Structure 1
Amino acid sequence: MDFDLTEKQRQRYDDVLSEVRERLGEPSSGEPFTPARWQDAARIGLTGLCLPTEFGGGGLGALDTALCLEAFGRGCPDTGLVFAVSAHLLACAVPIRDFADVSVRGELLSGLASGELVAANAMTEDDAGSDLSRLAVTAERKDDGYRLNGDKSFASNAPAADVLVTYGTSDRGAGFLGVTAFVVRADLPGVQVGELFRKMGLSGCPAGRVAFRDCEVPASHRLGAEGQGSIIFQHSMGWERACLFAGYLGLMERQLEQCVQHASGRRQFGRGIGEFQAVSHRIVGMKQRLEAARLLLYRGCWLMDHGREHTMAIALSKTAVSEAAVANSLDAVQIFGGSGYLSSAGIEQQLRDTVPGTIFSGTTDIQREIVAREIGL
């Protein structure tokens, strides 16, 4: 059992962290999407980490992808941008990489890897979040393709997207086996992207509704076989749950450094506040949650890379990281006190950015249901 990273992995992490700090280390302007910052992330290679090298990607596996996203989250205070890039890569580019027609892969993967194309995942509907068997968007088979009709309620990156990965019901009576996946150009007739959502956090990731109105999608742009959509979605969620949350590990590492620095410099009653157990033990708890979550995430990614069963491991890691991120952010606000509540310090933003981590990519309750099933309950 070896817990050490290779020299190559450590060097890659350090290189990404250095470049991210140089290009993206300053707080964002507060805009929901800034093409210049997206391109900065793309120049570092973050938009194509796990895509094939023949298309300009990094060719990395799950663990190495996660390590790069961890460095991204540590060096970039705009967690919304970290999430946007990760969703583009893991929920969209990965299923295109693994299930698209050869011609479509050639058409899209280079642009996705370079960041020239922005991808959005359009799955969630008003009455279908975790329940994939209730998709109201229909995919009606036509001689030369499919006709999509219906609405998606929450699509990350949609207002800025060039490409959408979406799912529709092609056979109403087949339940999970009646869902089919597609990759759709955002400028295709019949695609309507709604107004930008105002959200609690992750402002650097634009999100909105997507409507399909008699949208004709060529058969070549179907992902996988008809009825394989649920499997494809779970495949992409495996990558997203395993790797995207590494960005939160990076946030927690940066946050911990800020708390230690603040506790060392802030003085009350003639002493640094870090000398009081009420503060020092709180910081130790933050460190413990971070390291425990990191081990679970690395293990889940390692299992994926080695072709081992990873469903339960990833559900556990997603739960651990998302809950640790919220708990640590609450502690950070307490450690910073009144200044932590002010926007200027950036601490309260960390809390707002971590809360949705317990919701997207399958809620914490859904992850616990997965674990319960896997252990035989």
Structure 2
Amino acid sequence: MDFELSPLQRERYAGVSAAVAERFAEHETCTDPELVRLAWKDAASIGLTGMCLPEKHGGAGLGALDTALGLEAFGRSCSDMGLVFGVAAHLLSCAVPVWEFGTDEARDLLAGMAAGDLIAGNAMTEDEAGSDVGRIQTTATRSGEEYLLEGEKSFVSNAPIADVFVTYAVTDPSAGFLGISAFAVPRDLDGIVVGPPLPKMGLNGCLAARVRFEGCAVPARYRLGAEGGGGAIFQHSMAWERGCLFAGYLGLMERQLAECVARTTGRRQFGRKIAGFQAVSHRIARMRQRLESARLLLYRACWLLDQGRTDVGAIAMAKTAVSEAAVANSLDAMQLFGASGYLAGAGIEEQLRDCLPTTIFSGTTEIQLELIAREAGL
């Protein structure tokens, strides 16, 4: 077992981290669509929007672990976790299935996606279908060489600025999970209605909205995989998202830990540095332990993906470990910073808000525990 990153991996991580720090030095979380798109172009110029896509489509051809390292460096040096999340979701839950399951015509979208010219949104969640994928109500009815999409998606990340929607719809109501098909839907098709940005408590740099399909005629060439294969495609994309996206939060926790160390070694109370109080030093020790434990699980899950082994249990454990560590560490950071951490502007309260949804998106913690239990034979 070799736990060392290679010299190339360390060099790439340092390069991405430095480039992000330079490009986003003056960046602040914003919700203006035009400014968000400009931030995406900065991310694309570093190569973050196409890391795991093949070079022939404008990507870097990286594997899962190297993609995760890139996202970790992104989260380490960029305080706008909404942007980090949005870029990762675009790449992992949208670009990956288009690349692996799309027709040649659908794959023509990849060059724009890798360059950040086309932003993608994953349109799966509905009011009555979140973790229960088999309950989606959006339908896709075949009509010659087109599918007519009807239905509404309730929470689509990147939707207000998206140019492509990777969506899932029922093509055979009698087949259950095997009756779902996947599509890459260009935004400029008629019959797509995108709602206003949804107000959220965190990840504000990732705009989200409801998306409604009203008789949207999607050419059959934009179907991903075989008809009825959408459920399996979604699961595959979630393996990539759960395995790699959460590396961004490793970066956030690394940055957060450094801030807490600086704070506690610089602040004095009762005549000495507060880092000298055991209650403080042990809190930081536990923060580091959570971070390093979660990192090992995530790296292992990504390594397994690179070996062609989609280990559902390993991915679920990594996702759960990172999300729970991110929330716990953010609560600890709030306590260590005290009132100054609670105030807007210090960044600590924003970190907490950005970390809280990690236990919900990409499958709730409860769903991950069910997957882990199933892998254990329960």
Per-residue deviation, 1:27:
4.5
Which residue identity is paired with 2:59? G
Which residue of structure 2 lines up, in the alignment, with residue 24 of structure 1?
24
Per-residue deviation, 1:319:
0.1
Per-residue deviation, 1:30:
2.9
Per-residue deviation, 1:29:
4.7
Which residue of structure 2 lines up, in the alignment, with residue 372 of structure 1?
373
More divergent stretch after superposition (252-261 vs 133-142)? 133-142
Per-residue deviation, 1:310:
1.4
Which residue of structure 2 lines up, in the alignment, with residue 92 of structure 1?
94
Per-residue deviation, 1:309:
4.2
Per-residue deviation, 1:32:
5.2
Q: State the secondary structure of the residue aligned to 2:196.
A: coil
TM-score calculated relative to the size of structure 1: 0.99
Once the two structures are superposed, residues 2-52 of structure 1 have per-residue CA deviations (whole angstroms, 9 ceiling, x without a partner) of: 000000000000000000000013351532542211110000000000000
Per-residue deviation, 1:375:
0.7
Which residue of structure 2 lines up, in the alignment, with residue 35 of structure 1?
37
- Counterparts in 2 of 1:29 and 1:321: CA distance versus 1, 3 Å: closer
Which residue identity is paired with 1:313? A
Find runs of 4+ consecutive structure 1 residues off by over 3 angstroms.
Answer: none
Which residue identity is paired with 1:91? S
Which residue of structure 1 lines up, in the alignment, with residue 357 of structure 2?
356
Unaligned runs of 5+ residues in structure 2 are none
What are the residue-to-residue correspondences of 1:73-152 with 2, within 5 Å? 73-105=75-107, 107-152=108-153
Which residue identity is paired with 2:241? E
| Alpha-carbon contact 1:32-1:203 (below 8 Å) kept | no
Which residue of structure 1 lines up, in the alignment, with residue 314 of structure 2?
313
| Alpha-carbon contact 1:82-1:247 (below 8 Å) kept | yes
What are the residue-to-residue correspondences of 1:319-330 with 2, within 5 Å? 319-330=320-331
Once the two structures are superposed, residues 94-137 of structure 1 have per-residue CA deviations (whole angstroms, 9 ceiling, x without a partner) of: 000000001221x2010000001000000000000011111110
Per-residue deviation, 1:59:
0.2
Once the two structures are superposed, residues 220-271 of structure 1 have per-residue CA deviations (whole angstroms, 9 ceiling, x without a partner) of: 0000000000000000000000000000000000000000000000000010
Q: State the secondary structure of the residue aligned to 1:312.
A: helix
Which residue of structure 1 lines up, in the alignment, with residue 70 of structure 2?
68
Which residue of structure 1 lines up, in the alignment, with residue 281 of structure 2?
280
Which residue of structure 1 lines up, in the alignment, with residue 13 of structure 2?
13
Which residue identity is paired with 1:96? V
What are the residue-to-residue correspondences of 1:37-52 with 2, within 5 Å? 37-52=39-54
Once the two structures are superposed, residues 48-88 of structure 1 have per-residue CA deviations (whole angstroms, 9 ceiling, x without a partner) of: 00000011101000000000000000000000000000000
| Alpha-carbon contact 2:29-2:205 (below 8 Å) kept | no
| Alpha-carbon contact 1:32-1:205 (below 8 Å) kept | no
Q: State the secondary structure of the residue aligned to 1:345.
A: coil
- Number of equivalenced pairs: 376
RMSD of aligned alpha carbons: 0.8
Which residue identity is paired with 1:10? R
- Counterparts in 2 of 1:138 and 1:94: CA distance versus 1, 3 Å: same
Per-residue deviation, 1:155:
0.1
Per-residue deviation, 1:92:
0.3
